[in-house]
Amino acid sequence: MHDVSFDIAKGETVAITGASGAGKSTLLAMLAGLDLPTAGHLWLDGQDLTALSEDGRARLRAQRVGFVFQSFHLIPSLTALENVLLPLELAQRGNAQGQAREVLERVGLAPRVDHYPRQLSGGEQQRVALARAFVIGPAVLFADEPTGNLDANTGQRIIELMFEMNRTTRTTLVLVTHEQELAQRCDRILHMHAGRLVTS
């Protein structure tokens, strides 16, 4: 990536778009502190990510960041409830069970909390992933093609749920997408081309 510089305000919703290989996912990875730039700086919620160690960035993510992936990425050996419990326990929050059940109820999965990922449909898995992302009350939610593996109807329902939760929790939302319709729902679109930001 070259010459990429921008700010995202608290509570803002931002879509990152671009063709395959344009650098969308790389940008997302850097914003979330999953990767670091070879030059330049990144600030997340007031913290300079480039000044933090890998464990320091992990601690920051545990407290302030939520993720939703295209392939859901639930831990297959853990139940829906345990998957949602995971970030709460990593952030060492109290009343983890109660919070996890509550957020699963909000995404409509109360009856399926003890099911394993393989026992859930794609839409249900993505709802668990949403619950897992929102359960810690993150400052920023990063979503990487959140509807990419879902059919149109299910994808639409997930998007509605994500934006609704974003509204109620006032979380900053950064999502990578190919879908113009989805991008248009965001406050701002960052368009990438060949590793450069062409519109902001």
Partner 1 sequence: MHALRLALRTLLREWRSGELGVLLLALTTAVAALTGVGFLVGRIDTAVREQATQVLAADVRVSSTQPLPDSWFSTASQRGVHSARIQTLLSVVFRGDDSQLANVEAVSDGYPLRGTLLVADQAFADGSATRDIPAPGQVWPSSKLIATLGGGIGTKLAIGAATLTVTRILIARPDQGVNLADLAPSLIMNLKDLPGTQLIQPGSRVSYSGLFAADPALIRAFRPWLLEQIRPADRMRDVSDASPQLETAVDRAGRFLTLASLVSVLLCSIAVAMSARQYVRRHLDAVALLKTLGATRAFTLTVSLLQLVIVALLASAMGSVIGFLAQEWLLHAVRGLLGTTVLPPANLAPLGMGVSAALAVLAGFALPPLLQLARVPPLRVLRRDVGPPPPLVILAFGPALVVVVGLVWWAVRDVRLAVQFLIGLSVFLAALAAAGYVLVTLCGRLRGRVGVAWRYGIANLSRRRADSMVQIAAFGAGLMVLLVLGVVRDDLEVDWRRSLPADAPNYFFVNIPPADSNAFRQFIEQRGARLSRMLPMLRGRLTAINGEDVQTMRFARRGGDARGFSGREQNVTWASTLGDDNQIVAGSFWPSDYHGAPQVSLATEFQQSLGVGVGDKVSFDVGGEPFEATVTSVRKVKWDSFQPNFFVVFSPGVLDAVSGTYLTSAYFHPRDPHVMAQLARRFPSVSIFNVDDLLAQVRGIIDKAVLAVQSVFAFTLFAGLVVLLAAVQSSREERRFESAMLRTLGARGATVWQGVMAEFVALGLLAGSLAVAGAALAGAFVATRVLQVPYELDPWLPLVGIGGGALLVCLSGWLATRSVISQPPILTLRGD
Q: What's the CA angle centered on 120, arms 118 and 122, to 5 degrees?
A: 100
The answer to whether residue 77 forms part of the interface with partner 1 (CB under 8 A) is yes
The answer to whether residue 65 forms part of the interface with partner 1 (CB under 8 A) is yes
Query: Smallest gap, in angstroms, from Cβ of residue 29 to partner 1?
Result: 5
The answer to whether residue 32 forms part of the interface with partner 1 (CB under 8 A) is yes
Question: Within 150-189, which residues bind partner 1 (CB under 8 A)?
Answer: none
Q: Count interface residues toward partner 1 (CB under 8 A).
A: 35
Residue of 15, 86, 104, 131 that binds partner 1 (CB under 8 A): 86
The answer to whether residue 145 forms part of the interface with partner 1 (CB under 8 A) is yes
The answer to whether residue 52 forms part of the interface with partner 1 (CB under 8 A) is no
Query: Smallest gap, in angstroms, from Cβ of residue 132 to partner 1?
Result: 8
Closer to partner 1 by Cβ: residue 61 or 127: 61
The set of long-range contacts for 110-117, using a CB threshold of 8 Å and a minimum separation of 24, is 112/80, 113/79, 113/80, 113/81, 114/79, 114/80, 114/81, 115/79, 115/80, 116/76, 116/77, 116/78, 116/79, 116/80, 117/72, 117/74, 117/75, 117/76, 117/78, 117/80, 117/83
